[in-house]
A and B are shown apart, each in its own frame.
Chain A
């Protein structure tokens, strides 16, 4: 009965590859997010979707493309991975004005 789940938990890949991270929430929330946590533990919002519609796109390179097939899912596809993409990516969901509920994170390592 996990509220927000992400797969995979760990992802190790080489530069130039394309990869996807999946996120699902069973809380019935309307809004979903992707956040990036870098090596200094800074947490930065990347995208926000409300009912499958993109609301926020925070100057993220267009190599990152979120996709929301329905309001319970928000996947993140990354093209042409670069070393600087190595980070922990957190999915979250909320029912505004409620606080976001975070998933367990996906640790991406690009070599």
Chain B
């Protein structure tokens, strides 16, 4: 069964410190993985996807098939990064499964 696990409900990080939001997945095939960000009371926005291997707003994520992880990283946190972050998985069957989300709080 497809499953996405984000172990941290809340992550507080000081401004300028590195950020790592954890995501682990369970899927028997070759999944496609995404990170979405949701700023307060706004729609979910795609942050990045593993196949594009790009960096958006300074965030990167690498798919580690051995560890079944897709952690989101940023070297230096900024106050505007405070938001909810969701890891999501697609098994190619039009079903996109989301993790429970991690609230990132950047401390001044």
Contacts and interface: CB of A to CB of B under 8 A. Distances in A.
A interface, how many residues as a size bin? 20 to 34
B107 interface: no
A90 B92 contact: no
Query: Chain B interface secondary structure, helix, strand, loop or mixed?
Result: strand
Contacts of A50: 94
Nearest to B100: A42
20 contacts: A31-B94, A33-B96, A40-B100, A41-B100, A41-B103, A42-B101, A43-B44, A43-B98, A45-B95, A56-B94, A56-B95, A92-B44, A96-B90, A96-B92, A97-B32, A97-B90, A99-B88, A99-B96, A101-B46, A104-B42
A31 B95 CA distance: 10
8 smallest beta-carbon distances between A and B, as pairs:
A43-B98, A102-B44, A102-B43, A99-B46, A104-B43, A48-B94, A55-B94, A99-B34
A66 interface: no
Contact of B96 (A42, A45, A105): A45
Interface in A44-60: 44-45, 48, 50, 55-56
Interface of B: 32, 34, 36, 38, 42-46, 49, 84, 86, 88, 90, 92-98, 100-101, 103
A104 B92 CA distance: 25
A22 to B, nearest CB: 16
Contact of B86 (A43, A48, A103): A43
A99 B94 contact: no
A43 B101 contact: yes
Interface string A11-54: 00000000000000000000101010000111111001010000
Q: Which of A41, A56, A90, A99 has the most CB of B within 10 A?
A: A99
A102 B45 contact: yes
Contacts of A104: 42-43
A48 B43 contact: no
Nearest to B96: A100
A19 B46 CA distance: 29
Contacts of A33: 96
